[in-house]
Amino acid sequence: MIPVDGESSKKRVCYFFDSDVSGFHYGPGHPMKPTRIRMCHSLVMNYGLYKRMEIFRAKPATKREMTQFHSDEYVDFLSRITPLNMNSYMKEQHKYNVGDDCPVFDGLFEYCSISAGGSMEGAARLSRDKCDIAVNWAGGLHHAKKSEASGFCYVNDIVLGILELLRYHQRVLYIDIDVHHGDGVEEAFYTTDRVMTVSFHKYGEFFPGTGELRDVGIAKGKYYALNFPLRDGITDESYKSVFEPVIQQVMESYDPGAIVLQCGTDSVSGDKLGCFNLSMRGHANCVKFVKSFNKPLLLLGGGGYTMRNVSRCWAYETGLAAGVELGSEIPMNEYYEYFGPDYELDVKSSNMEDMNTPGYLDRVKNIVLEHLRQVGGPPSVQMTDIPRVPIDELMDDPDADEDLIPTNERRPQRLLDSRRQADGELSDSDDEGEGGRRNHASHKDRDSMPLAGRKFGAAVGIMSTGSTHGVGPSVATVAPPVATHPSAAPSNPESSNQSDMDIDDGTSVAPSARADSKEGSRTSPAANGMDVDQPAAPPPATTDAS
């Protein structure tokens, strides 16, 4: 993990994950695979990002909370239908668009509850200034309507999260970088100026078929819905050339109190359903740019159907939220084989042709900016008392159950996960080398080191690799006596150079040492646990028996 340059201040990050989410399955052959969220979480944990943020398992959303946006009949239908009784609900399935793209599967309502619960609690924590950035990769299901499932989405967690933010903030900005148009969110706030929706998406014979340039909202919400239709194959440079100027102008004209960013990764190159050509870093640049405005930020998932790329992208963007850039080499994790053959984090662009000409992008950008100029400045909102909803009881005292735990029992895992490692805190050796703490001393200088400061036995750098094979001969050779005369100096001119193996450098054993390891491993004192660097103990004193 490399700290990101130019970070003005460290952000408090709340990261939401529920391990149950990977147990749901849309059905054989369906492109939406909830397992991708667990794959991302596995990378997040094995990269060590858990030290830099609080991790929460959100309380699943209830039926009552879902009906803040969805109709009572639709939520009741989702809670009742199962694969066993679905034949009894044929009329309702047709009415609510459940069946083809949005199949009925085991645990459907629980899956929706987990997705919505993370987004709502993330928004609640942002509103109460308990964090600066909230992350819920299980959310971002932007196609669901008030009484209709659509595009693999059943419950619109984004709308529910925005409604929570609107209780505390006058204006909320919604940005969508999914390859598909964010139609469900736009439709929900099409007539209000309290939410501005900005969507960059593929348009033209592509699902859902909405998001035309002229769709700008109606009534009080006119010009508060912005759409930027794109063509196949857009590259990082082209995307950046339109995304940053538009969002910069949106921030100046609208001045939102909070931002919701839907990070659908089906806009990344190589997606099974997408047709854009963004690299992982090009996609993540949007997150970095939006974060730079220092507003309360809710990061949500969304589309993404090539699982190895989805998990790579979201893990990298989780790191950016926490203020670090992840290294290119993927650490060992439970899904390691998915990332072959190169086992690298980067998702690169392909040689796909970019159908977005500079003239087309400039023309569309100018029209969108003209729509923005019609706004004329941030709208004023007459605020009233904050209404009470069920999530308030949870947020007022999130540790209410802690008092019921017997004092002689372990703290629950939820409390342990919510702990963030403070900067400068002593930690295990898995972060050895961070912050310039690595010891670069050579093993040749050990005899001149004071006894109290010497490291005996195998070097820490090698121990951190998890293998002690070949350690014996390379570190256990008895040091020759110190030369006191020029003629006693070693005759080999290369022997005075830096050793191939530094004590704490973490590098591999020198080739010569590795070759000799098998031969010397049986007779090496270090292999038998002896400390060859310690001075020999004096012989025991003898007494005269007479």
Active site residues: 143
**End-to-end CA, the chain:** 71
Q: What gap in Å lies between CA 446 and CA 468, rounded to an integer?
A: 21
Among 278, 354, 274, CA closest to 316: 278
Q: Map residue 56 onto helix, strand or coil.
A: strand
Greatest CA separation found in the chain? 115
- Asked if residues 311 and 271 have their Cβ atoms less than 8 Å apart, the reply is no
The closest alpha carbon to 311, from 24, 36, 99, 11, belongs to 36
Tokens 């909370």 locate to 65
Q: Is 48 helix (H, G, I), strand (E, B) or coil?
A: coil
Other CB atoms closer than 10 Å to residue 420's CB: what's the count? 17
In angstroms, rounded to a whole number, what is the distance separating the alpha carbons of residues 204 and 229? 8
Per-residue DSSP letters for 454-481?
A: ---SS-HHHHTTT--TTHHHHHHSPPPP
Whether the upstream peptide bond of residue 450 has omega within 30° of 0, thus cis, is no
CB 301 within 8 A of CB 138: yes
Which of the 8 DSSP states describes residue 80? H
Give every strand in the sheet of 172-176, ordered side by side. Answer: 54-56, 13-16, 133-136, 297-300, 258-262, 172-176, 195-202, 225-230
CA neighbours closer than 13 Å in the CB half-sphere of residue 52: 22
Residues contacting 341, CB < 8 A, separation 6+: none
Three-state secondary-structure class, residue 13: strand
Q: Are 233 and 277 in contact (CB under 8 A)?
A: yes
Distance of CA 460 to the CA centre of its chain: 30
Question: If you count DSSP H runs as helices and E runs as strands, how many of each does the chain have, helices first?
Answer: 16, 10
- Residue 75 tokens read as 């939520």
CB 139 within 8 A of CB 281: no
Helices (H), 154-279: 157-166, 183-188, 236-254
